[in-house]
Amino acid sequence: MGTGATLSHIGRPAEPDKRTLRREFLAVRNTLTADDVREAAAALAERALELPELERARTVAAYVSVGTEPGTLALLDTLRARGVRVLLPALLPDNDLDWGAYAGEGSLARVQHGGRMALFEPAGERLGPDAVTTADVVLLPGLAVDARGMRLGRGGGSYDRVLTRLEQAGARPALVVLLYDSEVVGRVPAEEHDQPVHAVVTPSGVRRFGADVPH
């Protein structure tokens, strides 16, 4: 399947900047077929559901994948069927995130934010940006993660705000990024404010970083 493509230069001393890396990772994702994405999503859900942190979670903050992102809907539906409260983000005009509860695929609204890719957001009640601080696990989107657990995001800053909000609230959820196998790399550029995740889930398994995730 197409998820095996790699970016062999990553991790060498002369690191590309974040913008260049984002373009390259997105280009690889854009080579994936619908079958590739569907197959990877099923495996990703299976691997993620093996995480003890998700097994015992009462509230999980997640997101709805779009395009060729690693698929999340199968995972969201299984968590909801287990009785887990699943929170999904809604993008605000300033790039911050509000949150709403997931009530099944039929509860999602397709929202176009300017010239960006349309997002699927919860159509029901908005719970406020601070709702994420109640989560036991936060599932993060990304384009890559490195051996330190540093995540390369899309550059909008929305999840940087989420992580800052969690820190300010004293909340310590497990931070887990969902990626394809080829997106776990040696090193990505990191800035002082960037925070590492605790684990990455890919279709082939789970990798943890540093200390154990919070309990």
pLDDT tens for each residue of 31-89: 999 999 999 999 999 999 999 999 999 999 999 999 999 999 999 999 999 999 999 99
- The pTM of this model reads 0.87
Q: How far apart are CA 193 and CA 190, in angstroms?
A: 8
Is position 97 annotated in a ligand binding site?
no
Is position 127 annotated in a ligand binding site?
no
Is position 151 annotated in a ligand binding site?
yes
pLDDT band at 211 (very low <50, low <70, confident <90, very high): low
| Domain range list for the chain | 15-206
Is position 18 annotated in a ligand binding site?
yes
Is position 76 annotated in a ligand binding site?
no
The angle at the Cα of 95, spanning 92 to 100, to the nearest 5 degrees, equals: 40
59 and 85 Cβ atoms separated by less than 8 Å: yes
Tokens of 161: 């705000």
pLDDT tens for each residue of 187-198: 988 887 788 999
Is position 56 annotated in a ligand binding site?
no
**pLDDT number for residue 87:** 98
Is position 67 annotated in a ligand binding site?
no
Is position 102 annotated in a ligand binding site?
no
Is position 205 annotated in a ligand binding site?
no
Is position 180 annotated in a ligand binding site?
no
Q: How far apart are CA 86 and CA 80, in angstroms?
A: 7
Is position 39 annotated in a ligand binding site?
no
Is position 158 annotated in a ligand binding site?
yes
Q: Given CATH 3.30.470.20, say whether it is the number of domain 15-206.
A: no
pLDDT tens for each residue of 21-30: 899 999 999 9
CA distances from residue 138 to 83, 171, 197 in whole angstroms, order as listed: 17, 11, 10
